[in-house]
Structure 1
Amino acid sequence: MYFNHTVIHGQNFLSLAKTYNLSPNIIASFNKLSLGVNLREGEVIKVPAARTNFFYRLQPNSFHEYIPVFHRVTENGPLSTISKKYGIPDTTIQRMNSLSTKTVKAGDQLTVGYLKIRKDYENISNAPTRPDTISPAASSSPTSTLKSTAALQDTTISNEPDVNSDKLFEQARRIAFDKKDYATALLLCFQALKKSPDYSDIRIFAGRIYTWTDKLDSAVAQFNYVLEHEPDNKDVYVGYSDLLYWNDQYSKALEVCDKGLSYYGTSKDLLIRKVKILRALKRPGEAQEVLEQLLKIDRTNTEARALLQRNKDEVLKNKLGMSYEYNYFDKQFNDPWHIASIDYSRQTKMGSVGAHLNYANRFRSGGLQYELDAYPHISKYFYSYISGAYSTNVGVFAKYRGGFSLYSILPKSMEGEVGIRYLYFSDATLIYTAAISKYYKSWLFTARTYITPGEKSTSHTYNFTTRYYYGGADDYFLITLGRGISPDETGAVLLNNKEFDKLVTLKTTIGFRHEFKKKYLLTLDAGWMNQEYRPKTKGNQLSTGISYQVRF
């Protein structure tokens, strides 16, 4: 395989050898010329591919540049056809191009290797300083000097004039996102910038690649170049503020973000970044104002809605609430159940801490339960839930009740949870739980399961909940569909662990929540359960509830 090089004024075999990492003898011999011959301007010299200048893997260093070499597929067929043409294992081509199959289609452009050249090479007019299409050579074959390079065959590289900056940029994005091959993506970016030095989108993308690879000074240089030449470019403020935020330079990130907002005051990309920066700076009040502004611009903004509830809890640190629930049974019990609670919680530096006094009247008997819970922060992406409760009225309540969950804030406005619940009536029951939540526009979807190992079998509970937000973080309609019961449901018939293992229940709940004057919350809900309380004997349970909360 070889590459065509067009000679410019002053070049000779020695300068070409230095550029292409070969000896002058190999280049001269390959072209059937003597070393002493003078090369003419415009003459085409074949530069052979050898072990010293052509590779199947990048080997970055400070002295050389690696130019991707491409083959454009002309007809559908197996990858082995191209593999045989270049003497490269098909598995190597498959790896370089992240192909899922060994079949290729006409029009595909495949990387078949990398040409290594010196970074300080001379200004060669037709040297392959950008990726081009490889096609079979029309003539010539390797000389004896290349017999040791058995994996290479005769090929020429054509310098196509239609490979413009846009195509190089498109290729760089594909390689960066699909293959995570940032070194090659950067090479393509700078090859494009040689053609179009003021192409801001490419320069910003190069800055982002430097950000992802922790080359912060290089990233800043690219962003500053764009700011100097195009100070009203929105994307550069987005990229620059991301770099600073991810590297904990929050004050500087806020300056960059505010500068961008001075040009684009309603930019959703910049507003959501400002929220995150303000939260990192422990300024939740200002973050709340920006979130409310953003949701007025775009009520369906998923990321803003996911942040709104967490941020609101940090603005109004105290919550005082009360609730009441009424449960009616058509068969299982003659008397209704009444459940009420008074709650107080406070947001602290460690997270939310709360106390609950719960009252229940069940089986014509009343009782109290004393409960504490907390939601400690662990990091930017993790927090937890811890609770413990005690009651002297066993039967009305479990004597002991506890719980722990670990929450993870996931990409794409998702949240995950794994946890455990503990109940003790006359003996102990452990219940494992897991959930996944996803915000989508004005919707929140949550799927949850509870798994209770028993002596003879394992009980499973499944719930699916949907919320539709019609306003702020506390303005929504809710519906839950489920099978089985859980220890987190106050009205569920959890008498003891033995009976709990046997429960088979279908249920649905609808709810409504509304916020008044940014600090008063009213919640209404109603539910239906169809529960098998004895083998092949089912009964219905109807419930309704109301709660009121004040934040201050």
Structure 2
Amino acid sequence: MKNQLLYSILVFLFYFFSASVTKAQTIDTDSLLIAAIKVTNVEKDYNKAISMARLGIEEAPDYLDFHLLLGRLYRLTNNVDSARYFLNFVIEKNPIYEDAFTYLLGMEYEQGNIEEGLKAADKAISYYPEKVDYYRFKHDFIQLQRDERMEFDFLKAAMTKFPEQSSFRQRMNILELRLDNDRIGVNYSYTIFDREEVGPWHLVGLQYIHERKWGSIIGRVNYANRLSAGSTIDSGYQYELESFFFTGKISYSYVGIAYSPSLVFPEQRYGYSFIQNLKNGWEWEVGARYTSVVPPEGRRNFRSLILGGAKYVGSWWISLRTFIQNEEDQFYPAFTLTTRYYMDTRFDYFTFITGYGTSPDERQTLGQFENRIALDSWRIGGGYFRLLGNRFVTGAQLMYNYQEYSPGNKQNELELFLNLQYKF
């Protein structure tokens, strides 16, 4: 009986001290991890931290935080193979460690390792399909492949899941400009006035658009017919040639020329703009326009400086352009605020436009540019544009303009714009 009691006491003491030792080891391991992280982040002594992390793995081989720390440390010391091993080890054992994916993806991108990076990104997305950071990483690796068609398809799919991502929308719109695309189209503007025997105005344009990887070239023929009291008072043709061409990965330029032998249009018009995309959905523009008109009283020449800025905010694109215009010693300002809400492609959007003044980029009023530039003008309007059946680009826009037609006298104008293009 005494021996049995003694045996029971010894067994109890054995389990008590074993539990105490185990608990002490756990506490020591946690303390070791905290100390190793401090050495890494504060002291920056990576070799010492590596030794501490390896000791932690020896003491607790299933403690994945030590493996994660080692992966990070080996990345910091450019020991890529070891870093890859430990980070993948953590992911295979327990993919809940998001930092393991982040460290691994960042390292593979730094190394330019496209194949391994795409595999890791796909695995991260499979575990965390709602986390946009991993889609950004995948986009980075796809960009390294320089396959713009693949990049466009990826962004188009990603935008359906993350429509609020401004950088995705901005890049997708740029890429769409670089895809092979040919279109023919017609647009029509009908303008009415609230003054007796003034108007309506008709403007018809035929155009061909040729888009390639380098940029685009656009040819356009416009016909204007202006009526008063039911009779034509002025009509004629204008011929335009425009081009948008890429000058870098994130920048492009616009060049345009136009000529008309008719008084209903300016005789000559020349334009240039440089547009650059910035980070976080921003872009800016600087440009110039030269417009020469020949009214009965003699030739007049106008120069315009354009300064603009735009921002993608999710599916929204907001643009403000300022025109500083000059004739001899006179200066005339004009402003245009344009807002678009994109839905699918760059052809699918609602738009809202408001502005002040007359600018050389408004085709509908160019025939009276020299008369209107010094007068007040307030405009507001909106439109809807849509790609139908992947072939037909359609659009309708309605604009209201409160126009001063002579000093102190104003009129109301309403313009309907219709657009139809065919892609082939």
Q: TM-score, normalised by structure 1?
A: 0.59
Q: Distance in 2 between matches of 1:417 and 1:328?
A: 33
Query: Relative contact order, CA 8 A, sep 6+: which one is greater?
Result: 2
Residue identity matched to 2:273: S
2:396 corresponds to which letter in structure 1?
A: L
Q: What pairs up with 1:395-434 in 2 under 5 angstroms? A: 395-425=263-293, 426-434=299-307
Q: Which amino acid aligns with 2:102?
A: D
Letter of the structure 2 residue corresponding to residue 299 of structure 1:
P
TM-score normalized by structure 2? 0.75
Aligned match of 1:534: 406
Q: Structure 2 stretches of 5 or more lacking a match?
A: 1-30, 55-65, 294-298
Specify the alignment match of 2:181 in structure 1.
Answer: 317
| 1:264 paired to 2:136 | no
Relative to structure 1, the CA distance from residue 332 to residue 528 in structure 2 (aligned partners, 3 Å threshold; closer, same or farther) is farther
Inter-partner Cα distance in structure 2 for 1:332 and 1:419: 39
Aligned partners of 2:404 and 2:411 also within 8 Å: yes
Using a 3 Å threshold, how does the CA distance of structure 1 residues 229 and 521 change in structure 2: closer, same or farther? same
Counterparts of 1:205 and 1:500 in 2: how far apart (Å)?
68
Quote the offset at 1:494 in angstroms.
5.0
> Does the Cα contact within 8 Å between 1:332 and 1:533 map onto a contact in 2?
no
Deviations 1:252-303 (A, max 9, x none): 4255224421442445334344445545645333223212221222222222
Is the contact between residue 372 and residue 405 of structure 2 (CA under 8 Å) also seen in structure 1? no
- SS of the aligned residue for 1:293 comes to helix
Cα–Cα, structure 1 residues 464 and 190, in superposed 2: closer, same or farther, change >3 Å?
farther
Structure 1 contact 254–274 (Cα < 8 Å) conserved: no
Checking the alignment, whether the CA contact within 8 Å between 1:513 and 1:521 is kept in structure 2 is yes
Structural mapping, 1:149-548, within 5 Å: 164=35, 187=44, 196=53, 198=66, 200=68, 218=78, 220=80, 224=84, 226-231=86-91, 233-244=100-111, 249=112, 252-253=113-114, 255-265=116-126, 266=129, 268-275=132-139, 277-278=141-142, 281-331=145-195, 334-362=198-226, 364=232, 365-393=234-262, 395-425=263-293, 426-492=299-365, 494-497=367-370, 499-548=371-420
Task: Describe the shift of the 1:302–1:161 C-alpha distance in structure 2 as closer, same or farther (beyond 3 A).
Answer: same
Aligned-residue CA RMSD (Å): 3.2
Local SS of the residue matching 2:334: strand
What percentage of residue pairs aligned between the two structures are identical? 23
Query: Which consecutive unaligned segments of at least 5 residues does structure 1 have?
Result: 1-159, 173-184, 211-216
CA shift for structure 1 position 380: 1.2
The residue type equivalent to 2:101 in the other structure is K
Cα distance change of structure 1 residues 317 and 454 upon mapping to structure 2, 3 Å threshold? same
Whether the 8 Å CA contact 2:33–2:53 is kept in 1: the answer is no
What one-letter code is carried by the residue in structure 1 that aligns with 2:209? S
Report how many residues are paired: 363
CA deviation after TM superposition for structure 1 residue 514, in Å: 1.5
The C-alpha deviation readout for 1:379-437, integer Å capped at 9, x for no partner, is: 112211111111111x2111111111111110101111111111111232111111111
Aligned equivalents of 1:392 and 1:431: distance in 2?
22
Go from structure 1 to structure 2 and tell me whether the alpha carbon gap of 1:200 and 1:309 turns closer, same or farther (over 3 Å shift).
same
**Using a 3 Å threshold, how does the CA distance of structure 1 residues 514 and 223 change in structure 2: closer, same or farther?**
farther
Q: Structure 1 residue 462: deviation in Å?
A: 1.4
- SS of match in other structure, 1:512: strand
Cα contact 1:477–1:513 (8 A) shared by 2: yes
Q: Deviations over 1:51-93 (max 9, x none)?
A: xxxxxxxxxxxxxxxxxxxxxxxxxxxxxxxxxxxxxxxxxxx
Deviation at 1:502, TM superposition (A): 0.8
Q: Indicate if the aligned counterparts of 2:178 and 2:214 stay in contact, CA closer than 8 A.
A: no
Task: Say whether the 8 Å CA contact 1:400–1:423 is kept in structure 2.
Answer: yes
Distance (whole Å) between structure 1 residues aligned to residue 361 and residue 197 of structure 2: 21
Give me the whole-angstrom Cα distance separating, in 1, the residues matched to 2:260 and 2:212: 27
More helix by percentage: 2
